[in-house]
Structure 1
Amino acid sequence: MLSLSLRRRQGDFHMDVAFEAGSGITALYGRSGSGKTSVVNMVAGLSRPDSGRIVVDGKVLFDRDAGIDLPPEKRRLGYVFQEHRLFPHLSVEGNLVFGRNRVPPKDRRIDFDQVVEVLGIGHLLDRRPALLSGGEKQRVAIGRALLASPQILLMDEPLASLDGARKAELLPFIAALAQKFKLPILYVSHAMDEVLRLADTLVLMDGGRAAAVGPLEQLMSDPALRPLTGRYEAGAVIAATVASHDSAYGVTRLSFAGGTLVVSQAEMPVGAQVRVRIHARDIAIAIDPPERVSIRNVLPAVVTSVTAADSFLVDVVLSAGGAQLWGQITALAQAQLGLKPGMRVHALIKALTIARGDVAGRDRGSRQE
C-alpha cells in the first residue's frame, strides 16, 4: 500500500497531490509538466516536499509534522530511470550483484536466480552493457533495482528512449513483475499503450494535482475525463477473454460481459485475459438491428447518458451487458435518432478498427502474453 499527501512549490508551479494505491501497478499519466516525475522523486527522497506525508507498506518515509525524512538509501525503494544507468565497467552479473549487495543478507527477500529467469537475462550475465540492446539494458536495470529487495518499485518512463520493437519486447517483463515479486509499482508514463497494458490503478495528473484516481477501465471510460485522458484516446476500455482464433479469416474472438467481439487476430493464447480499447469515434449506433451488414460487431446495448461534447459532437455512454461503451456521434445524428437514457439500441464496431495495439494482455503469470 502506498499512501501519500504532498505539497511542494517549484517556482511558479504548485504541487498538491494526494492518493492511495494498493498492490499491482499504479500508473501516473498526464501531459509533460503535469508533475508525474516530481511525485516519484519525492517518494524516492530525491526531492523534499514542503509539507505532507509518504507511507509505503506501513513505513513512514516522510512526515513533515513528525519531523521524519528518511534519506533515499534508507527508504528501501527500487528506482528505474528513463536511461538504464548501468555501470559500464561491470558485467551484467556485476551490475545485478551490486544491487543485491546494497542490502544486508537478512533483508534480501528477492532471489537472484528468480530475477534472472523472470527477466530472461541468463544468457547475458557475462556481457558488458556496451554489448546490450536498449531493451536488454533496461531489463538489467530493472533486475538491479529488484535485487535491492525494495518495498516498492519506482519506474520513471523506462521505455521512453526505446523504439516500438524494443518497447514491445520489454512490456511483458514489466507486466509480470508485480505478481511475480508481490511488489507494488509506481509507473510514470505519457504513453497510453503502456498504461493500457500495465496499470491496475490509474492516477491522472494535471497541473500538479491528482485530478482523478481509480481503476483504469473506469477512468478511461468516463467522457468527463477526456481532457485528461486525451482526445485521441477517447473511448472505453473493457476486460475480455480470448475465446478463439480463426486463422483462415485472420480474426480473434473475445468474450466479455456484453457478448463477443471480433477483432484482428491477436497473438495470445485462448483463455488469456485482455483489455480492449474501443475508441469513441469507432462506434456507430443503430436503433434497429441492422441486417446484411459488413460490420462484425453488433452489440445490443442500453443508452446510459447523452451529453454534448462540443457544438457538433455528442457523447453517448452505453451499457452492453454491464460493460460500459462510449460512442461519439454527430449532433445531426443525435437530432435524427433522438437518443435518450434507457433506450435500447445496437452498438456497431468494425473489427478492423480494433487494432492489435488496442488489445493488451493481462495474464501476468506468464511472459507469453
Structure 2
Amino acid sequence: MSLSVEVCKTLGDLSIDARFDCGDGITALFGRSGAGKTSIVQMMAGLIRPESGHIKIDDVTVYDGMLNIDIAAHQRRVGYVFQDARLFPHMNVRRNLEYGRRWRGVRGSSPSFDDVIEALDIARLLDRRTNLLSGGERQRVAIGRALLSGPSVLLMDEPLASLDAELKAEIIPFIAHVQEQFRLPMVYVSHSVDEVLQLANTMVLLADGHVAAVGPVEDVMNRPDLIRITRTGDAGTVITARVTNRDDRFGITTLSFQGGNFRLPAKAMKTGELVRLRVRARDVSLALKRPEDVSVLNIFQGRVISVSDTDDSQSYICIDVGGATIWSQITRKSVSELGITPGIRVFAMVKAVAIDAPLAHPSRTIK
C-alpha cells in the first residue's frame, strides 16, 4: 500500500504546498494548529479540490490537476473519522455502522461486521442511541463505521482532540489494534506529541502549509532544528526501549536501549514491553568526568557529535551513546567553560523524575 501526495492550494492567508509519500502503518501529519494538516487530509478525501498536483492511493490516481482527474469522494475508497464523530443522531449504533456497509458495493470488500464490533468492543452499544454514548464510545463507533465502508486508507482528523486525557488513553489502544488487525494504512492528524509517539511509524512534519520533514518518528523528533522551525514543543530525543526489570521495593523500572539502561519510576509495565521514551534536551546535563555521590540515576558515557548554537545564550549538544543519540541543551557559557567540542568524551545525566512516563510503542509485540 502506498500514498503519494503533492498538492497546492491557497486557503485565505495559508498557502499549502505539500509533497510526501508514505506506506503501510500509521503516518502522522504533525504540526501546530493552522499548519494545514486538516486541509491536506480533506484534499486526500476529495472534500477540498487542490489547485494543482496529484494524489495517488495504492497507485490509483484520485486527483491529477494536469490530467483533469478528480474522482468523487465516495469513490476514492477513503474512510474518514472526524474530530467530532458526526454520527447520525436519529439512528442507533447498529444503524450508524450499517450505513458504512452501504458503500461496500461501490468500494469492494471490507472487514466483517462481527470483526469490527469485536475489535472496537462495541457489541454492547449496538442498540443504544448515539446521544447516550460517551465521547470515547462515539469515536469508536465512528471508526467502526469508517472501517465497514471498505476503505483502502483510513484518514483520522484529530479524532481525540475533544476528549479528556482519560478517554484519550482509552481510545489509543483501540486505534493501534484496528491498524494491526486489519492491516489498514492510516493517516493520523494531530498536534499531540504523546498521541504520535504511541501510534505512528512515520511522521510528516508540517509548518505553514509546507512539509518540513518526512521520516520515521524517531528520526524526525530527534532533530532540534525542525522542532524549533515548526515551534511544535521542546527539543529532545525519542528513544525506543524495552522493559527489562522492575524493582518493586523502590518502584523503579529498568528500560534497556541501544546505549544502556534508563531507570525511572514507572508503573503498570510488563517485562518485554516495547516503549518510547521522550527525553527533553533541557533535562540533560553534561560532565567531563563520571559524577560520584549524586542522586541522578541515569548517567551515560558518550562522545560529542556536534555543537549547535540556538541563540546568543544556548547551545544544543548532540551526543552518541552506544549508537543512540541523546541531545543536551545547555548555555554557551557552559560549553565554553567545559571546552565542549565535537569528538570529546562527556557524561550525560538525566534525572529519573524528569522523564515523562514511557509510552507504548506502535510495535507492541513482546519479543
Q: Which amino acid aligns with 1:46?
A: L
1:159-200 CA distance string (max 9 Å, x none): 111111111111111122222111111111111111121111
Letter in 2 for 1:144: R
Q: Which residue of 1 aligns with 2:361?
A: 362
Question: How far did 1:345 drift?
Answer: 1.2
Q: Secondary structure at the match of 2:104?
A: coil
Q: CA deviation at 1:231?
A: 6.5
- Structure 1 residues 329, 33: closer, same or farther in 2, change over 3 A? same
Structure 2 residue aligned with 1:94: 95
Counterpart of 1:271 in structure 2: which amino acid?
Answer: G
* Mapping 1:5-154, distance limit 5 Å: 5-104=6-105, 107-154=108-155
1:88-144 per-residue CA deviation (whole Å, 9 max, x = no partner) reads: 222212211111122119922312222112212122222111111101110110111
What RMSD, in angstroms, separates the aligned Cα atoms of the two structures?
1.7
What is the aligned partner in structure 1 of residue 242 from structure 2? 241
Structure 1 counterpart SS, 2:267: coil
Checking the alignment, whether the CA contact within 8 Å between 2:200 and 2:362 is kept in structure 1 is no
Runs of at least 5 residues in structure 2 that lack an aligned partner in the other structure: none
TM-superposed deviation, 1:60: 0.8
Matched with 1:169 is 170
Name the aligned partner's letter for residue 360 of structure 2.
G
Distance 2:107 2:64 in 1: 27
CA distance in 1, matches of 2:155, 2:116: 17
How many residues of Structure 1 are paired with residues of Structure 2 in the alignment?
365
For residues 33-75 of structure 1, give each alpha carbon's deviation from its aligned partner in whole angstroms, at most 9, with x where no partner exists: 1111110010000010111110011111101112210000000
Structure 2 match to 1:213: 214
Return the offset for 1:147.
0.9
C-alpha distance in 1, partners of 2:39/2:223?
Answer: 26
Residues 229 and 293 of structure 1: CA distance in aligned 2, closer, same or farther (over 3 Å): farther
Q: Taking every aligned residue pair, what percent have the same amino acid on both sides?
A: 47
Between stretches 93-102 and 56-65, larger displacement belongs to 93-102
Query: For residues 262 and 305 of structure 1, do their structure 2 counterparts lie closer, same or farther at Cα, with a shift above 3 Å needed?
Result: same
Amino acid at match of 2:361: R
Please, what TM-score do these two structures have when normalized by structure 2?
Answer: 0.96
Secondary structure class of the residue paired with 1:348:
strand
Write the letter of the residue equivalent to 1:44.
Answer: A
Matched residue type, 1:332: K
Q: Is the alpha carbon distance of 1:144 and 1:365 closer, same or farther for their aligned partners in structure 2, counting shifts above 3 Å?
A: farther
Tell whether the 8 Å contact from 2:281 to 2:329 is kept in structure 1 after alignment: yes
TM-score by length of 1: 0.95
Consecutive unaligned residues in structure 1, runs of 5 or more: none
Amino acid at match of 1:202: M
Distance 1:190 1:271 in 2: 29
Distance 1:105 1:190, change over 3 A: closer
1 CA distance for matches of 2:145 and 2:308? 49
Q: Aligned partners of 1:279 and 1:34: how far apart in 2? A: 23
Q: Separation in 1 of the partners of 2:142 and 2:299?
A: 46
Q: Distance in 2 between the 1:9 and 1:310 partners? A: 33
Distance of 1:155 and 1:72 partners within structure 2: 15
Paired residue secondary structure (1:104): helix
Moved more, 83-92 or 227-236: 227-236
SS in 2 for 1:212: strand
- Render the CA deviation track for 1:260-317: whole Å, top value 9, x for unaligned: 1012213222111111100001101111111121110011111110111111111001
The amino acid across from 1:319 in the alignment is: D
Q: What's 1:344 paired with?
A: 345
Q: Which amino acid aligns with 1:135?
A: G
1:286 maps to: 287
- Give 1:257 shift: 0.1
- Cα separation, 1, equivalents of 2:21 and 2:176: 20
